[in-house]
Amino acid sequence: MELIVIEALLVRGENDQVRVILGPYCLDFDADDVVSLEEVPLPAGLAEGHAIAARVTLKAGARLLGMGSSDVYRNVLWRREVPFSLATRPTAVFKADAAMKQREDAFFAARGLTERLS
């Protein structure tokens, strides 16, 4: 049987599990199913010290113990560089005109979208 080789980000797993971030997915494998781990260079934009970029070699038939979205890791793992022009502005770039807000509210209400936007 052939081995399974993936390049992913290693993050802390639970118990005897190895957790990898592979694109939009978070995958958990049993540590006993891992044949080898080889560190590779960090991808551009990854915040240092939060994950390890690695080539993970798994046994053929490795059991997938858990699968979920990697969205919860996105803000922690990736640097969010804000341009100077935005970082030095007040929080609100502009204030919407009251008349515009009323027209917008009426537009959404007429189409039954008010509840979906709340």
Task: Give domain limits for the chain.
Answer: 4-111
| Percent of the chain whose pLDDT exceeds 90 | 43
- DSSP assignment of the chain, as one string? -PPEEEEEEEE--STTEEEEEETTEEEEEEGGGEEEEEE-PPPTTBPTTS-EEEEEEE-TT--EEEEEESHHHHHHHB--PPPHHHHTS-S-S----HHHHHHHHHHHHHTT-HHHH-
Each residue's pLDDT expressed in tens, for the chain with a length of 118 residues: 699 999 999 998 888 899 999 989 999 999 999 999 999 998 887 877 888 999 999 999 999 999 999 988 887 787 766 677 766 766 665 677 888 888 888 888 888 887 765 5
pLDDT of 96: 73
pLDDT of 87: 66
